[in-house]
Amino acid sequence: MLFITNKYLKPGMILAKDIYLYNNSNFNTLLLTKGQVLNNTYIQKITYHNIDGAYIESEEFADIIVESYIDDKLLSKSLSQTKDIYYEFKMSSGKINRSSIKKVSSIVDDLITELLYKDNLTYNIIDFKNYDTYTYQHCLNVALLSISTGISLGLSEQKIHDLGMAGLLHDIGKMLIPVEILNKPGKLTNEEFEIIKTHPENAVKKLKNLVSYDVLSGIENHHEKLDGTGYPYGKTDSNIHYYGKVLSVCDVYDALTSDRSYKKTSFPNEVIEYIMGCADKQFDYEILKHFLKIIVAYPIGTFVRLSNDKLAVVVKNYTENIMRPIIRIINADGTVGDDIDLLYDKDYMNVTITDMGYDYSNSGLSKVIKSTY
């Protein structure tokens, strides 16, 4: 299968994977099913819901199988329950009880059970972008990334659970901030940003005596940076709680790869390069090394442009170097060429990926995409 962005979807293409939409009214809407032949109406529906694209059948790439990071039903259940907890918190002006905390703990337990013994922890960002609501999606994504990073770090199951709790609750304090500030499309004023900066402290005040000190510290410190440029206290390296350091990386990665009212999403490779450039300045290097093992710069099935101007499709990723995957060349005439291992093939050591390569409209690619037309 191949991932085709919505801009280049064409009538006659055949879906290789179900498309789900997660929104406020229904947290598991099956929008289109695997095997569905696309037409203009279906393509408009995908575009309308701001879905980045779809996996499309291709015989030449039939060996590429993209599995969901977590079970769709578990994802839907977790998102729905997270939304309910956040909504109740907002409507009660910040009141939260032990029953809600038990629900959060249960969500985290289910996610850990799903991920702890998973053979491949590679987080496919494409699975987590079909949402109409940002806050609940973001908190669930940060919980998933934090749990997976904790597993990669070899932390105990209790510590992984605490990380997941902190991840799921890290932005609950934002429910006490006026929505016009949270969703402001333009740049915040200094006064508005000072209000935003209160959300970690808001959460800690409301969650005190309901969760552990470590969970509270992770929430409180998730915007602190090693060099002291973070908030709310401007803490430096050794003064930042370990969970806060983990959440900081996960939070920034998900925020920068998500569409917001005030900014467009960045490609995963661009965000990874930015985060790597901040190692030991903003982010803990050892934590970052393990975080980079559970994400990919170039999801399999996506197109990339090489420094030699060739187009290729990502076939496999390496956890030891996420920037150098195995790729399959698309020839100039639109036929499929050889597989190239960018990590180990010495003949390609000087070849790099320069772009996600989505502009392939003139590549003759129709020859490798299965279509009924």
CA separation, residue 102 to residues 21, 64, 81, 84, 211 (Å) = 27, 40, 11, 13, 10
Tens of pLDDT, residue by residue, the chain (373 residues): 999 888 888 999 999 999 887 655 555 678 899 999 999 999 999 988 878 889 999 988 999 988 888 888 888 889 889 989 999 999 999 999 999 999 999 999 999 999 998 877 787 776 666 554 567 889 999 999 999 999 999 999 999 999 999 999 999 999 999 989 988 888 899 999 999 999 999 999 999 999 999 999 999 999 999 999 999 999 999 999 999 999 999 999 998 987 655 556 778 888 999 999 999 999 999 999 999 999 988 999 999 999 998 899 999 999 889 899 999 998 887 789 999 999 999 999 999 998 875 555 555 565 667 666 6
| 300/314 Cα distance (integer angstroms) | 5
The strand pairing partners of 23, in sequence order, are none
| 196/165 Cα distance (integer angstroms) | 21
DSSP state of 205: H
Half-sphere exposure of 260 (CA within 13 A, CB side): 17
CA proximity to 147, closest of 107, 188, 98, 190: 107
Domains of the chain, first to last: 2-66+299-368 (3.90.105.10), 72-291 (1.10.3210.10)
Let me know if 1 is exposed, middle or buried by CB neighbors in 10 A (0-12, 13-18, 19+).
buried
Q: pTM of the entire structure?
A: 0.90
CA geometry: angle 20, 124, 69, nearest 5 deg = 65
